[in-house]
Structure 1
Amino acid sequence: MQINMVRKLLNATGLLLLPFLPLAAQSQYELNSGWQCNNIGKVTVKGETLSSPSYGLKDWLPATVPGTVLTTLLNNKLVPDPFYGMNNQRIPDIYFTGRDHYTYWFVKDFTEQQPAADGQVWLHFRGVNDGCDIYLNGHRLNPSTHFGTYLRHSYNITQWLAKDGHNRLAVVVYPPAIVGNPNGGQGGDGTIAKNVGPQYTAGWDWIQPMRDRNTGIWDKVTIEKTGAVRIKNPHIITKVPGVRLPEGQQSPATVQVSTELENATAKTIAGTIRYKLAGNTVTAKVTLAPHSTATVALPDLEVKNPELWWPSGYGEQHLYTSQLEFVNNSKTDDTEDISVGIREIQTYWNAHTRSREVAVNGQKIFIKGGNWITSDAMFRFSDERYDAEIRFHRDMNLNLIRIWGGSLTERPEFYEACDRYGLLVFQDFWMSGDCNGRWVDPMKKEDQWTRRNYPDDHNLFITSVADQVKMLRNYASLAFWCGGNEITPPADILSAIKDSILPQLDNTRFFFHYSNTDSMSYNFLGGNGDGPYNIQPMSVFWNERTFPFNSEVGSVGVGDYESLERFIPAANMKAPVNAPGGVDSVWDYHKYIPYFDHLDPYGKPENVKDFANKAQLVNYDQYRALMEGFSSHMWDWYTGVIIWKTQNPWTALRGQMYDYYLDPNACLYGLHNGSAPLHAMCNPIDGTILTVNNTFRYYTDIMLELKVYNMKGEDTLITQVFTEISPKTSQKYLSVKSALDKLGSSEGVFLSVRLRDKDRKVIDDNLYWFPDAKGNYSGLQKMKAAKVQITAQKIDDENISVKISNPANGPVAFFNRVSLVDTKTKKRILPVFYNDNYVSVLPGEEKIVTISGAAVKRNGNAEVTVYGWNVPEQTINIR
């Protein structure tokens, strides 16, 4: 359920962006090019003079807007790439330079005529970090400096537009008032949290400090043209009573729409607010006093047999398109495109697990989530990047993303992607236990009592919360609000959110006081409750009970060799050694966490490439075990789990299913496998075979098939049995431990765990590799090469099919990485999406990997590479 904030868009050159309606397309455009900037120390005139179109801008820099100062400096090659090697240390930090070093003027010339009659022109800023003063054509628009990273602000610029249509906008942007000492602590010395802004910019355990603290006009600037009345902050609520299924005839659902209407003129205006949805037209008559804003509720709409929105894995993500319109004397003053996902999210307390249980449209959902920081640490956002990242999360078979409190309220484009792909969102506000005083911390400048009262301006925090709730409340994917990461906001802020803002502005979503609050998950284990955060024996995920709805638990995540090459200099490409001083300084700077001795059973890595390849085996096993272990105990021990974390907005070496450059590693595919909605699995500790069904469907006549393969590829059937699998359950069957111990004692074995439907088609395929009796993968280390045949064929403009055939009477073709690469450079084309990867092919079988995405279409000069544990690298031409 979303308000599509890219409605009515024109780009800055005036070209129509389809497929919006002609009227809508002419009424709003983004100022996203042609900006210039200069440091405040080099500007000798005031804003009134600078914003005069006749004032010369000699030697000003081309500026990136939306963007940060650091982004502009990087794009002008005035600083090195802070994501590469140790370059970030070569960039001056604002704590040492002073704030003026990153205080900049931004200027944009644009053409806009004065409107006729009652027409109005508005200037909107969706995000500036942190303070700004705004001038247009010699006039200051904001009477006092605007503060607040997250607070939108708008100005009616009708009277200030130039008569000849040639206008100049000048904005001076000030860094956060308190920039914090980047002393290596979580959020540096913690004082960054005195502002209402992102805390990670002073550094964290997964990122180095952003030297400008992300100062800049970091989000969109738009011009909007309306008639006398402007539509503001529409509010869409959908109610879906009862227990629903994705298929079949649906009982009615209710849609409730209200909106703010602003009359910008000095006269009373009577008109009609209306919208169409699912073949119905809903209207309300309105009379607006001069220079007033009123909230108007339209009559409830009953939608018969609605198409419902479901989280990924449970059903389709149906979205209705509509348009909210204000009509004044048969003239449309303003329109707002709306996209409505009809769904209802409920939560209950599960007394058995002692944790929060989530339901959508009356059906309980086992939460499989990932923690998210932001798409890019320097706020270089794009629709395409958001789409790719959320699609990766869908492909992991996750159904929720939590937005961590030390960063942002995510952008509308993020939520639009979550609406498309079916990812529920758990949105924190801007607090963290680290900076805001939960713990004693010698790295912090001020004591806990002082930090507990951060930020300095509570009213700004409260006003920003209200504004962001209005901006995001209409998205179907938005499921929960949260006061902060691992700590509640101060008492007055908490009271304002839960007692005033949310009851008045969004009373349909559950509010967690903080991310690991008892109302989410009762902490009967003691301690912080979150974690662990590093590599773990698989027994921990399977057999050791933890927080019943864990908001943060994770493991390692180093990418493969090609990923490492993108940001680690050749001189530093050294495999970490499990010993004191065994990690290269660049790896340490990029927050490497150790694999300890987990790679040694595969044979000690010979070099960094061997290390990276073997790390993928561990990555796959870790995240498959994490999700399988948690889901094996669903509704008994757990109601959900959220992985810390699934993505990095910087080139860090931990907690990621894909790297900053959108290249997936084996973590993603281990999670994809272990999170499959219908899945058969093996507890690797005791050999218990289980199935988990995270769907609403009852499966009958399903064949559970268990086979063991030795290193030569010879198979032994353990059992195959017909079974029935109930919805939303985890079921135990038998233990195969004795067979694994017997058959794998000398060299280890493969265990194939499959589900087949009544037509013998494999509907779930899960291959484990087990070590020998000494805990080593001795058989893998001397495994013979598999003589595979590989073909690649283009299906259509955006899809390529890669078939890997493994002949009978040979070994398993183990752990094959498929890549789409540029024919000339031999580098991977990014981002593309694989329906599976790091795949193994049993003797006498074949597997098809589908490569898809817009990048496939854009890169006609491509080929496919495949390499595996016992498959030499091959390059395949695409037919």
Structure 2
Amino acid sequence: MKDTTPLDQGWSLHHGEDRLPAAVPGCVHTDLLNAGLIPDPFLDANESDVAWVGRRDWTYTLDLPAHDSRHERTDLVFDGLDTAATITLGGTELGSTRNMHRRYRFDATGLAGELEVRFTSAYTEAERVRALVGDRPNVYPEPFQYIRKMASSFGWDWGPTLPGAGIWKPARLEHWSTARLAEVRPLVTVDGSTGRVELHLTLERTENGAGRPLTVRASVAGAHAEAVLDGDTGVLTLEAADVALWWPRGYGDQPRYELDVTLADGDAPLDGWSRLIGFRTVELHRTADETGTPFTLAVNGEPLFVRGANWIPDDTLITRVTPDRYRTRLQQAADANLDLIRVWGGGIYEQEAFYETCDELGLLVWQDFLFACSAYPEEQPLRGEIEAEARDNVVRLMPHPSLVLWNGNNENLWGFRDWGWEEELGGDSWGEGYYLGVLPRIVAELDPTRPYAAGSPWSDSWDHHPNDVDHGTHHSWEVWNRQDFAEYRDSVPRFVAEFGWQAPPAYATIRRALPTEALAADSPGMLHHQKAEDGNGKLDRGVARHFELPADFDRWHYLTQVVQARAVATGIEHWRSHWPRCAGTVVWQINDCWPVSSWAAIDGDGRLKPLHHELRRLYADRLLTLQPADRDGAPRIALVNQAAEAWSTTLRLRRLDADGRLLAESAVQLTAGPRAVHQLPVPAELLPGEGSAREYLVADADGLRAVHFPVADKVFAYPKPEFELAVEAVEDAAGGAAVDVVVTARTLVRDLLLQADRIDPAASADRGLITLLPGERTTVRVRGAGVPTAEQVREAVFCVEPTRAVL
């Protein structure tokens, strides 16, 4: 049987004469940090002080003594090298690499001595390739399209510029004889309750193993198959009866079955391969209809309204993202009622733990190929690297049932049409041949069980604008960039693959990142940790449309969080109410890669913004929403039911005065069918007066609430908020002590928020924004804060307050 020797100890990193201990897997930035040679680039403006790291060459070395393996062949295997490297062992050059996103294997039979991995600066390599292929347009002033490296390591409008180098995935020696399983490619399908696995196998043989008949055995879910191969390729088919279907979360369970493959010479095992797989079907409905071109995912024949979010690398220094960290972040996504994660094309093909956790949690994965916001040359040496990269990762990831869509690129087809690229390129290649040629060919050849989309956004044809709301996927960025969030209601895209609104991270995250700064919205550290073009200007304008722009930081911080949550809610509630015309929303974004003001729902320290709690409401199976006006100008109520059972409820509507006085009310029994939306107009007598600064509408059903105020908050005659707080120590069901904060409203209290991390950086609250009517009471559970006093809690509580003009 094949033997493996991990190479994860004893490495050194050096540049010139300086050497220091190196971690493998790891990167130069984390090694320098661990050695105390650079400051933390995530704090203050230290990012700028460590820019030199990415412009140097670095060498990793390891003493590799002769081994006593009796096998015929020894391979040196790297699962990931970042990025341009030359590998030598005992003075013999084994080869070179130019792609972070591929696996590498070198014949090291009979070699020993010093193993050296010499990395060339990513900038040097990128400029070398640029000189060969010529300039191409790019949305950022960094050369990421000339090197197959994580694009966002060069910086983005939410990320720092920290391109480094390193052995970023495991390294090992593999000792084997006769033959090994070079590639196992399972095509998993299901017909009714019969699961089918078509195993495509590729062997690599030694000279002694050439032409020898070898036996391959496979098993899954009680089914077995065996074949004798005397060549290098073969196909085995297994059919398993009575398999249970794998479903997205919220639609059913996620059963998985162990698929085992063994290669043997007679009775002597040579190699093995094992994965957990799931049986399910996936389709992408794109047949034109009366309103355009849909983009509707269906799993096991069930069409879905996708409740998704975009995913970026969870740390710019990606080797710090452990399996436990993947699980924490993805569980947070599931807790927000997401059912799909889009792995965005400027990051990486994530590690196995990411996809395994998605398999387990029932989170669907939309996987971009790694192209984003740039024109990519199609000449060599890039073209060959991209084909090899795509083949490597399609085969690596295809066993995962959570993976449901391959996508060619992020925004490049749109960029060619709208961002001036077409004129600037003057006929030069820019990536279209990848998205409409190379990549769909590879997916069709290697993984025909999954759909492929050429890009996002993309209208499925050059016959339409790439970002046409009526055709395919749409990215909605005009609203954040130039408009009020109410403008989300002006269109009904077929599928919203990107949209979002910014807010700063949690207060404790800011304080950790800027430990000595006198905080202000425009203080130097806050501006350094704001990477979006005119980001703070857009934040301020977003607040000013609804509130008086505050001068103090704490109030500004709270109001930007409120506006972020309201903005995303406006879009999702509108688009969900138009199911099935609109078949999904994928909010930008679920996570952050460092402490930064951004569109994320979970900040760079892993703390939940109010948006995360709002997503939990917005993406629940049942959503109650008040839509101020549809295309006919009539306000309406929508009961959105994504559950498999009908939703029958009593809807209570109340028109109230600002002081809490009941002006009118009604109650009606309603039913929304399974996976359906029920809509009805708001009765005229319950509509607040047009432009009224005192009247508002409240809808309640089964514990869900929707509110509608006809004017901006800065115009509405809010009373001065009055509420009582009580703190009660409790034994938390999750283990450990906690406190319940009981809030009793004496007036209307709009968007109350308890920022638990202001009490203690380790504290968290289980609720986000809460609106209470006079006399109502609610409870917020706080964990990790000990037993604070009511006064300590009150200092961490914010809510909407009346403006001076109204007072």
Normalised by the length of structure 1, the TM-score is 0.77
User: Gaps (5+ residues) in structure 1?
Assistant: 1-22, 43-58, 162-166, 243-250, 437-450, 757-761, 875-879
Deviation at 1:653, TM superposition (A): 1.0
Residue correspondence of structure 1 range 572-611 to structure 2 within 5 A: 572-576=518-522, 585-588=527-530, 592-593=535-536, 594-600=538-544, 601-611=546-556
The equivalences for 1:448-467 within 5 A come to 453=378, 456-467=381-392
Deviation at 1:656, TM superposition (A): 0.8
Measured against aligned partners, the alpha-carbon deviations of 1:476-514 in whole angstroms (never above 9, x if no partner) come to 121222222223663554566346422221112222222
Distance in 1, Cα, partners of 2:300 & 2:306? 15
Which stretch of the first structure deviates more once superposed, 767-776 or 167-176? 767-776
Matching of residue 66 in structure 1 with residue 25 in structure 2: yes
More displaced stretch, 468-477 vs 839-848: 839-848
Letter of the aligned partner of 1:457 in structure 2? Answer: L
Q: Which residue in the other structure is 2:604 paired with? A: 660
* Residue in structure 2 matching 1:221, options 165, 171, 181: 171
User: Which residue of structure 2 aligns with residue 56 of structure 1?
Assistant: none
Q: Give unmatched runs, 5+ long, in structure 2.
A: 414-429, 798-807
Counterpart of 1:478 (choices 398, 403, 409) is 403
Cα 1:343/1:520, change in 2 over 3 Å: farther
2:640 is matched by which residue type in structure 1? Answer: V
CA gap 1:812/1:424 in 2 versus in 1, 3 angstroms: same
- The structural deviation recorded for 1:225 is 5.2
For 1:214-253, what aligned pairs fall within 5 Å after superposition?
Answer: 214-224=164-174, 228-241=178-191, 251-253=193-195
Q: Distance in 2 between matches of 1:322 and 1:236?
A: 9
1:657 deviates by 0.7
Q: Secondary structure at the match of 2:444?
A: helix
Q: CA shift at 1:187, angstroms?
A: 5.6
Q: How far apart in 2 are the matches of 1:394 and 1:214?
A: 32
Residue of structure 1 equivalent to 2:718: 779
Map of 1:51 onto structure 2 = none
Matches within 5 A, 1:268-283: 268-278=211-221, 280-283=222-225
Of residues 558, 563, 580, the one that matches 2:509 is 563
Q: What is the aligned partner in structure 1 of residue 761 from structure 2? A: 827
Superposed CA offset, 1:576-629 (max 9, x none): 59xxxx996435557634223443545542421121122222122112112111
Distance 1:814 1:462 in 2: 51
Residue type of the partner of 1:70? H
Question: Does the 8 A contact of 1:700 with 1:725 survive in 2?
Answer: yes
Separation in 2, partners of 1:186, 1:180: 14
Q: What corresponds to 1:620 in structure 2?
A: 565
Quote how far apart the aligned CAs of 1:722 are.
Answer: 2.5
Count of residues in Structure 1 that have an aligned counterpart in Structure 2: 757
The residue type equivalent to 2:217 in the other structure is R
1:256 corresponds to: 198
Percent identical residues: 21
Judge conservation of contact 1:345–1:509 (CA < 8 Å) in 2.
yes
Give a deviation string over 1:534-571, Cα, whole Å, max 9, x none. Answer: 275343223x1154223322212322322321223543
CA gap of 1:492–1:571, structure 2 versus 1, over 3 A, is closer
Q: Please tell me whether the aligned partners of residues 180 and 203 of structure 2 are also in contact (alpha carbons under 8 angstroms).
A: yes
The separation in 1 between residues aligned to 2:362 and 2:792, in whole angstroms, is 35
**2:595 touches 2:604 (CA, 8 Å); kept in 1?**
yes
For the residues of structure 2 that align with 1:65 and 1:330, how far apart are their CA atoms?
36
Report the counterpart of residue 294 of structure 2 in structure 1: 355
Deviation at 1:65, TM superposition (A): 2.5
Matched position secondary structure for 2:510:
helix
Please say if 1:330 is aligned against 2:267. yes
Aligned to 1:296: 234
Aligned counterpart for 2:637 among listed residues 689, 697, 702: 689
Matches for 1:432-831 after TM superposition, within 5 Å: 432=372, 434-436=373-375, 453=378, 456-487=381-412, 490=431, 492-494=433-435, 497-498=438-439, 500-519=441-460, 523=465, 530-532=475-477, 534=480, 536-542=483-489, 544-545=490-491, 547-576=493-522, 585-588=527-530, 592-593=535-536, 594-600=538-544, 601-636=546-581, 638-685=582-629, 687-695=635-643, 697-707=644-654, 718-735=665-682, 739=686, 741=688, 745-747=692-694, 749=696, 751-754=698-701, 756=702, 762=703, 765-768=704-707, 770=709, 775-779=714-718, 782-797=720-735, 803-806=740-743, 815-817=752-754, 819=756, 826-828=760-762
The answer to whether residue 100 in structure 2 is matched with residue 159 in structure 1 is no
Work out whether residues 688 and 697 of structure 2, in 8 Å CA contact, stay in contact via their aligned partners in 1: no
**Over residues 317-343 of structure 1, what are the superposed CA-to-partner deviations in whole Å (9 max), with x where a residue is unaligned?**
222234322333333322222111111
Q: SS of 2:331's equivalent? A: helix
Among 105, 110, 116, the alignment partner of 2:59 is: 105
The one of 124, 127, 132 aligned to 2:77 = 124
DSSP-derived class of the 1:503 partner: helix
1:371 corresponds to: 310
How far did 1:804 drift? 4.6
Within 5 Å, give how 1:308-319 maps onto structure 2. 308-319=245-256
> In the alignment, is the contact (CA less than 8 A) between 1:214 and 1:379 conserved in 2?
no
| Native 8 Å contact 1:234 1:258 kept in 2 | yes
Query: 1:453: Cα distance to partner?
Result: 4.2
Instruction: Report the CA distance between 1:810 and its aligned residue.
Output: 6.6
Does the CA contact (< 8 Å) of 1:816 and 1:866 recur in 2?
Answer: no
- Alpha-carbon contact 1:194-1:456 (below 8 Å) kept: no
State the secondary structure of the residue aligned to 1:159.
Answer: coil
Equivalent pair of 2:658/2:717 in contact (CA under 8 Å): no
Shift of 1:345: 0.7
State the Cα distance separating 1:806 from its structure 2 match.
4.5
CA distance 1:867–1:31, change in 2 (3 Å): farther
Contact (CA 8 Å) 2:180, 2:270: kept in 1 or not?
Answer: yes
* Letter of the structure 2 residue corresponding to residue 505 of structure 1: L
The superposition leaves residues 177-201 of structure 1 with CA deviations (integer Å, 9 ceiling, x where unpaired) of 4446999x95643533122223333
* Cα distance between partner residues in 2 of 1:712 and 1:845: 14
* Alignment correspondent of 2:334: 394
Which letter does structure 1 place at the counterpart of 2:146? Answer: K
Q: Deviations over 1:292-332 (max 9, x none)?
A: xx23322231331x222222232222222343223333333
Is 1:203 the counterpart of 2:155 in the alignment?
yes
Distance 1:240 1:867 in 2: 58
* 1:109 Cα deviation after fit: 4.5
CA distance in 1, matches of 2:270, 2:253: 35
Aligned equivalents of 1:261, 1:693: Cα separation in 2 = 50
Deviation at 1:270, TM superposition (A): 3.7
* Matched residue, 1:837: 768
Kindly report which structure 2 residues correspond to 1:75-86, keeping only aligned pairs within 5 A, or say none: 75-86=34-45
Deviation at residue 360 of structure 1 after TM alignment:
0.5
Moved more, 255-264 or 583-592: 583-592
The 3 A distance-change label for structure 1 pair 750 and 496 is closer
Q: 1:553 to 1:800 in 2, by over 3 A?
A: farther
- d(CA) in 1 for partners of 2:460, 2:770: 41
**Residue type of the alignment partner of 2:248:** P
Aligned counterpart, 1:442: none
Q: 1:300 is paired with a residue of what secondary structure?
A: strand
Instruction: Indicate the SS of the match to 1:624.
Output: helix
CA root-mean-square deviation: 3.8
Contact 2:725 2:790 in 1 (8 A): no
